[in-house]
Homo-oligomer: A and B are copies of this chain.
């Protein structure tokens, strides 16, 4: 959904108010109660609306630069998300300054956060591990939101895709093709996204009346090499599965590479589904069936929510969870 698709009329309809009220709320003009403004902003953010530059409250104190703190640019999903945030920021008349940590589990340095705050209006945090936030970001004097990390940081509003519902879709897709022995390669279980996808795998199989076989659950860490090495475990199981759900695309691409090296034909001898829809998923051979995270929309919602906070509004909803979708390509099929 492009920004132009979301008109004031649509927001007004969804919020049950007039277009004028929406316009006032978005531009932070008087005449709208605080509660109503928050509600309208929340609805607008959910609809992927980016505050237009001309609608923003002008303030000479603002730099119109957003800080983005991220654990690792060097990861296809993260770099897609950063690009999405950058495009949304630019559309709203903002630029991005990115502070990228060298080690994903390193906390941001307080001195750098402090320096950044001299020149930015707010922070989007894209940090996977909870301890990264403690102490450092709590002291920030500018608004903060988190992306791709939900259910934990009640202190900060957050934007994420629905990992649980997406993973349910992935498993249901395999069930629908006739698979009954479905392996699961877990993600990094320290992360909420990995926990949600794991829970969805267990719940969906259970709801389908299929008993959980712990042998089919292989510990992963969202990385390509771990996906590749998981294939050994998969192929030595006494009762081999016919399909694998890998908790993200990187590890799914590793599984595909490992299976091909072992001489298996995909999807005839094994179906593989991933999660994220990074660019590499479509380029993989066979092209990877996956669950698409709405990266563009996550970027827009993140920027919009942050701009609302910068404008002095409180986020009415502490969490925005965006829907995912199934993208069927060539790596899944009916079992032989």
Contact = CB atoms under 8 A, between A and B. Distances in A.
Interface stretch (A34-42, A82-90, A235-243): A82-90
A253 B280 CA distance: 11
Contacts of A118: 118-119
Contacts of A307: none
A100 B102 contact: no
A100 B100 contact: no
B74 A79 contact: yes
A96 B97 CA distance: 10
A83 B257 CA distance: 25
Given A283-B224, A283-B257, A116 B97 contact: yes
B97 A99 contact: yes
A89 B102 CA distance: 9
A63 interface: yes
Contacts of A97: 97-99, 112, 115-116
A80 interface: yes
Contacts of A82: 73-74, 100
Nearest to A95: B112
A64 B114 CA distance: 13
Interface in A277-312: 280, 283, 285
Contact of A73 (B73, B257, B280, B285): B73
The 6 closest A-B pairs by CB, nearest first: A74-B83, A98-B98, A115-B119, A90-B102, A95-B112, A86-B102
